[in-house]
Amino acid sequence: MKISIDIDDSAKGKEIVSRLRQGFNFVEIDNEFVRVDNFQLDIPKHVDFPKDYPNCCDFHKKMIEGATNWYRRFPHCCDYHKKIGNKSWFSKDDYINLPHESVGKLVYMNAFMAESFDKEDWFEKITEYIEYVILSFGNPPLGLTIFIRGLNQLLSIDGLITYNMSDDQKLELLIWLEKSEVKENINLNQLYLVFQKWIQSFPDLPVFNQLKNNFRTTLPMDLVLYDQQYNRYTGITKSRVKNELELIEVLVHQTKLLLSKINFRKIVAAQNIDKSQIEYDLIVAKHSVTQKALLSDYDNHEEEYMNILKKWLDNEAALFQSLSNLSHQNEVSSKLKLISGKQDQFDLAITELKDGTSKVITIVDKLTKKQKKYHDELISEIERLEEGSPLIKDISQNIEDLKSIAIKGSQSDADLDTFLSDGDISAKHKFKFIIPLLIFRYEAEIELGAKQKLPKSWKDFKRIFIKD
């Protein structure tokens, strides 16, 4: 199948070049400038032209007569064909067999339907074969109207189909034929603008940067095209192009799908981004989207994905505000716990100190009581001592010894007595004595003040402990 572009209109050629220079992503070439050669169909199985065809029946006879009459007037039958007649490549003699070929393809079509109507995939098989027949007419599809008109009559007039195809099957095929004849004028450049408008609606946040960079100045065809369909007879895969409204519906769905896959909190945590910076960015992003919705020309359908985007940003901003508050609360709580822990340690130390102090006081109290007891026992023992007892003698001897060494250079007892009796002389005296008690002994040192006199006798020594 040969395809060629034949732009013999200088004005049209200049228009195409101008649009390319203006930056249009797509340039449309009118169907009238595209030429595709026609071709012969593969003959279906069991096809059998009726005897005396086309004079075998009124249907075939009238189809041939109508096609022949049309060919006589062609290409001056209508404005469309007149333009074709003016093409440099056109020669009417090339289409001399067109009437019989067009009706003959109708015979092939009828034979194919007879083979396929009772199959499970009958609808797909028959519609794909119809497309195959249509393609065989090439472009411009001269004679195609003869075939389509005959097929409509074959399916709608009772008795023309002699096999058991149901009325529901015929109706379904007629509806498909009617829809296939409607050609929607779709402008790819307009679809490109619709898509770019959607891309630019996303704010400048890190999670959207890759999306915006990848699809800037492009139009993903998988969003524009419907699911591809392969034709087993033509060997061609085709797909219908969405119109603007259908594309916007897809973009609304894509917005929801895209946002649902974004775990904003996880991304921020992984990249160790400052939460305060993210909160700031979200505020700016919300303002950006709101401004675009306010100042740009979004239609009612486009506003749907804008509203989704705004609500998503609101939710994310609220989330990060809550997380920020929670983080602050946790930080305060952690510090309070730290303080509380130290307070507990302090309280424990105070308690231990109190316990220790209490024990010390108890011990001191016990020692004081024992000291008093020992003191009382000592006084009692001293009171019981009599003149002439061995202990008294020892004490008296100690006193005499002290007298003998108290003042270096003293020559007489009289001088010593005078020295010891002199109240103006300041001296400190200390002596140690040991008193045996019942089961232990009392050992003590006695220190006299500077003005106190050293005891001269047992009576003086006794007055140290017992006042008169």
pLDDT mean across residues, the chain: 79
- Alpha helix segments (H runs only) across 272-299: 275-295
DSSP string, 302-335: HHHHHHHHHHHHHHHHHHHHHHHHHHHHHHHHHH
For 278-298, the pLDDT digits (tens) are 778 888 888 888 888 888 888
Is pLDDT of 272 > 50? yes
Is pLDDT of 409 > 50? no
Residue given tokens 């200049």 in the structure block: 14
DSSP string, 140-168: S-TTHHHHHHHHHHHHHSTTS--S---HH
Q: Confidence band (pLDDT; 50, 70, 90) for 149?
A: very high
What is the pLDDT at residue 384? 67
Closest Cα to residue 109, out of 57, 65, 153?
153
Closest Cα to residue 101, out of 30, 38, 32?
38
Contacts of 432 (CB under 8 A, 6+ apart): 443, 444, 445, 446
Closest Cα to residue 80, out of 30, 119, 5?
30
pTM for the model:
0.62
Q: What percent of the chain has pLDDT over 70?
A: 68
Is pLDDT of 401 > 80? no
Pair 428, 441: CB distance under 8 Å:
no
> What average pLDDT does this structure show over 193-211?
89
What is the pLDDT at residue 66? 94
Is pLDDT of 449 > 80? no
For 292-331, the pLDDT digits (tens) are 888 888 888 999 999 999 998 888 888 777 766 775 565 5
Considering only 82-86, 220-224, 354-358, 431-435, which range has the smallest mean pLDDT? 431-435
> What average pLDDT does this structure show over 68-76?
92
**Alpha carbon distance 309, 306 (integer Å):** 5
Pair 57, 64: CB distance under 8 Å:
no
Is pLDDT of 229 > 70? yes
What is the pLDDT at residue 367? 67
